[in-house]
Amino acid sequence: MNHFFARHLYLVDFTVASLGRRRGRNLGLFAVYVLLVFVLASVSLMTHGLRREAQAILESSPEIVVQRMIAGRNDPVPTGAVAAITGIRGVRAVQGRLWGYYYDAGMRANYTLMVPPDRPVESGAVVIGGGIARLRQLDTGDIVHFMAPDGRIVRFTVSGTLDSASELVSADLVLMNEGDFRAFFGFPADRFTDVVASVRNPREVGTVASKIALALPEARVVTRADMLRTYEALFDWRGGMVAVVLSGAVLAFVILAWDKAAGLSADERREIGVLKAIGWETSDVIAVKFWEGALVSLLAFLAGYVLAYGHVFYFSGALFEPALKGWAILYPRFRLVPEINGQQVATIFFFTVVPYTLATIFPIWRAATIDPDTVMR
């Protein structure tokens, strides 16, 4: 056993010296390798982090959301629907919500105006998200003007900004008083935008949702699980789109790696011939080249992954922020919670390290089995 480890230790030492003799070529390959791992790991870490952030926020979202559909479009829900849902067995609490969209033509941004159910806002005041505060350079006590659908200019006082920890969903949010909301949009007093419900037994959410759908045939019933699946599909789609865009770079690396691994230079062939001539076995030559590929790929993988970790968790994934966060104008600012997913690490490792390392073996084996005199000539 000691002989085995000592043998491979000497082979690794020889491999390091061999890499140093072709420093320029190996450094170029190493840089491209690091860049590839950095890009793939950044997309993977950021997509996973955004998915976890969305899941954590949606854990406190309503268990059931009921919307009224007319001709395939959302329509205000009559207040009578609240009483109808309350009478369904298994429902614990029901509440109507008021929210809507507002387009700021000057900033070319969409805001979400909402009446918070658990945070009273004074009449004439608004609480804004961090994205709006940065976009319009607003602070507490400032005055903000919105144009109502009927052309009126309505003035509000900023009474506060929302916590940056929730900025994934609150960057474009404007919280206001119920009376101000109804007056601004001309919203009827006997209507809600939608209705949310909570269930006594979490395991019966699906059953209660089915009962609501039967009681209100014109309603669309959305559960928290549906929202979670939608967010997961959204981030998977965005991550996939970025990966498709980068597929050209991945293909270029594959070609470069294969050319490097399969296309032995004259110096490398001569070196193999000399080693065979002085008594090296074929297995020793293959082991050296295996260690050469393994060292380059492992070091590049570690360097690229560490850079990606810092890029995502300490610089908020600035290079891929527009593609993965997806806001047209208002980009939320928040720091993802650092986490390493073992499955993602293994996947990136398998698709970057393993192919290159294995690609070095066959051409070396073919050259190492040729007569040394033939190789050197």
For residue 206, tell me if it sits in a domain: no
Residues in contact with 317: Cβ distance below 8 Å, sequence separation at least 6, in sequence order:
42, 45, 46, 311, 324, 336
Query: Global pTM?
Result: 0.68
For residue 216, tell me if it sits in a domain: no
pLDDT at 127: 94
Q: Which of 135, 159, 192 is the last residue of a domain?
A: 192
Compute the half-sphere exposure of residue 321: CA atoms within 13 Å on the CB side of its CA. Answer: 19
Q: What is the pLDDT of residues 193-239, one digit of tens each?
A: 999 999 998 889 999 999 999 999 888 999 988 888 877 776 666 66
CA 191 → CA 115, 145, 187, 280, distances in Å? 13, 26, 7, 86
Residue 314's CB: how many other CB atoms inside 10 A? 11
Residues forming beta bridges with residue 111, ordered by sequence position: 102
For residue 51, tell me if it sits in a domain: yes
Judge contact between 148 and 317, C-beta under 8 A.
no
Same domain, 244 and 305: yes
Tokens 């011939």 -> residue: 273
CA 85 → CA 48, 261, 288, distances in Å? 36, 67, 72
Q: How many domains are there within the chain?
A: 2
CA dihedral 173, 178, 181, 184 (to 10 degrees): -150
Q: Is the pLDDT of residue 17 over 70?
A: no
Which of 219, 235, 217, 205 is CA-nearest to residue 320? Answer: 235
Contacts made by residues 142-146, CB under 8 angstroms, sequence distance 24+: 146/102, 146/104, 146/184
* Measured CA angle at 235 (ends 110, 112), to 5 deg: 20
pLDDT at 284: 67
Domain coverage including residue 33: 2-58+233-376
For residue 138, tell me if it sits in a domain: yes
Q: What is the pLDDT of residues 165-190, one digit of tens each?
A: 666 677 889 999 999 999 999 999 99
Q: What is the pLDDT of residues 34-92, one digit of tens each?
A: 888 888 888 888 877 777 777 777 777 889 999 998 888 889 999 889 999 999 998 99
HEC-encoded secondary structure of 347-367: HHHHHHHHHHHHHCHHHHHHH
Q: Is 71 exposed, middle or buried (0-12, 13-18, 19+ CB in 10 A)?
A: exposed
291-295 mean pLDDT: 75
Residue 238's CB: how many other CB atoms inside 10 A? 19
How confident is residue 377, by pLDDT bands cut at 50, 70 and 90?
low
CATH code of 140's domain: 2.40.40
Judge contact between 329 and 109, C-beta under 8 A.
yes
For residue 157, tell me if it sits in a domain: yes
- Identify the residue with better confidence: 107 or 245: 107
275-297 mean pLDDT: 70
DSSP code, position 153 = E
Q: Which of 192, 212, 245 is the last residue of a domain?
A: 192
CA dihedral 282, 284, 288, 293 (to 10 degrees): 60
Same domain, 237 and 339: yes
pLDDT at 312: 86
Which of 338, 340, 322 is CA-nearest to residue 330? Answer: 322
Dist CA 220 CA 77 (whole Å): 11
Dist CA 354 CA 254 (whole Å): 12
pLDDT at 229: 81
For residue 63, tell me if it sits in a domain: no
Dist CA 326 CA 104 (whole Å): 18
For residue 172, tell me if it sits in a domain: yes
Q: Is the pLDDT of residue 372 over 60?
A: no
Q: Is the pLDDT of residue 25 over 80?
A: no
Give the gyration radius of the chain's Cα atoms: 30
For residue 258, tell me if it sits in a domain: yes
Q: Which of 192, 212, 242 is the last residue of a domain?
A: 192
Same domain, 262 and 369: yes
Same domain, 167 and 117: yes
pLDDT at 270: 67
